[in-house]
Amino acid sequence: MNANKVKLTVDAESNNILARRKKQKLPEIGPIIEALQKEFDIQVFKLQDIPDAVTWAERGNIAIHENYHSRRRQSYHVICGDKDNLVRFCHRIGVNPENIKASEFFRFWHLTWFPHLQTQACLPNVKGSHGLTYIHPSS
């Protein structure tokens, strides 16, 4: 194992030293979100604030939070009560809108976003945009 990616911990019961891989940081989406806030009402929520994210999304806004089902897969959960709004958002970030699903329990639509994998459409001249190209709304 690479020493930079290992976290050593001591097991409380056995006093054994355990080596665990460090969790990778999620891709930085702040600059992408900042550039898109002129067009969308977007807010990024922490994992523990998911109830607030649901409330925000059910109002037709776009809420983004770390995807707790796939933390190791480096993804975000994007939710919005207005499907058309979420489809427009998908087009701006290069995500296929066919990935949008209706929530079974809430009044919103959702998808999983892997920012580090998107390569077709995003934002030029934005630090952290991972070399993606922004499609202006008038295009």
Note the pLDDT tens digit of each residue in 83-124. 999 999 999 988 899 999 998 888 899 998 888 765 334 554
Residue 54 within any structural domain of the chain? yes
Average pLDDT over the chain, rounded to an integer: 77
Residue 60 within any structural domain of the chain? yes
Residue 14 within any structural domain of the chain? no
Confidence of residue 71 (pLDDT cuts 50, 70, 90): low
| Averaged pLDDT for residues 28-49 | 91
Residue 105 within any structural domain of the chain? yes
Domains held by the chain: number: 1
On the CB side of 70, CA atoms within 13 Å amount to 11
Share of the chain above pLDDT 70, in %: 67
Residue 123 within any structural domain of the chain? no
Name residues whose C-beta falls within 8 Å of residue 137's C-beta, 6 or more positions apart in sequence: 39, 88, 92
CA 95 vs CA 16, 20, 120: distances in Å: 45, 33, 8
Residue 136 confidence (pLDDT) above 60: no
Q: Which domain holds residue 82?
A: 30-117
The helix (run of H) or strand (run of E) holding residue 55 is: helix 50-58
Residue 65 within any structural domain of the chain? yes
Residue 9 within any structural domain of the chain? no
Residue 67 within any structural domain of the chain? yes
Q: How far is it, in rounded angstroms, from Cα 25 to Cα 105?
A: 29
The alpha carbon of residue 67 and the mean position of all alpha carbons in its chain are separated, in whole angstroms, by 7
Q: How far is it, in rounded angstroms, from Cα 109 to Cα 130?
A: 26
